[in-house]
Amino acid sequence: MEKFIIHTEVFAYDHPDELDPKEAKLLESATEAMRNAYAPYSRFKVGAALLLEDGKIIKGNNQENAAYPSGLCAERVAIFACGANHPGMKIVSIAITAGSLDFASDHPIAPCGACRQTMLEYELNQDTPIAVIMRGRSGKIYRCEGIKQLLPIFFHEDGLKLK
């Protein structure tokens, strides 16, 4: 048996002004996207914004459906919009923010497992880390240097190849 420790590094900020100005703007874009989310069932709105290498910002928000599995998370809406409309363009960072219409969300909201896996595939394909900025409606802001910090043990295409 072998035991190993996985180290994840996350930076915590008290205010958006502490972030790089581009990332502070990206977080505001995610907040704008959150306001337009379609979440009539969960009443939990999520916004995501991607900063591309050319400076463009791509927004996404959660889109629910009465047939719950048919909805899609904000992060994947933004990532897939980027892949469809800006193929080959590298993603520099993603900001994610969320808030409930029913309770206070004053802590950073992390992406779900499916979104982490999707974002990681884009990070691996572009061979450059994608910084992740996370916030609730208020409170601390978390930032990590790449998706691998959030999903250190991951499934990759190598698992699909015959040896």
Does any domain span residue 44?
yes
Does any domain span residue 4?
no
> What is the extent of the structural domain holding 148?
11-160
C-alpha–C-alpha distance, residues 127 and 73, integer Å: 24
CATH number for the domain harbouring residue 42: 3.40.140.10
Q: What is the pLDDT of residues 81-100, one digit of tens each?
A: 999 999 999 999 999 999 99
Say whether pLDDT at 52 is over 80.
yes
Per cent of the chain over pLDDT 70 is 98
Does any domain span residue 2?
no
Does any domain span residue 113?
yes
Average pLDDT on 106-127 reads 96
Confidence of residue 158 (pLDDT cuts 50, 70, 90): confident
- Say how many domains are in the chain: 1
* pTM (2 d.p.): 0.93
Does any domain span residue 3?
no
Does any domain span residue 5?
no
Average pLDDT on 36-46 reads 97
Q: Which of 75, 121, 123, 145 is the catalytic position?
A: 75
Can you give the pLDDT at residue 136?
A: 95
Does any domain span residue 72?
yes
Q: Among this protein's residues, is 2 annotated catalytic?
A: no
Q: What is the pLDDT of residues 64-84, one digit of tens each?
A: 999 988 999 999 999 999 999
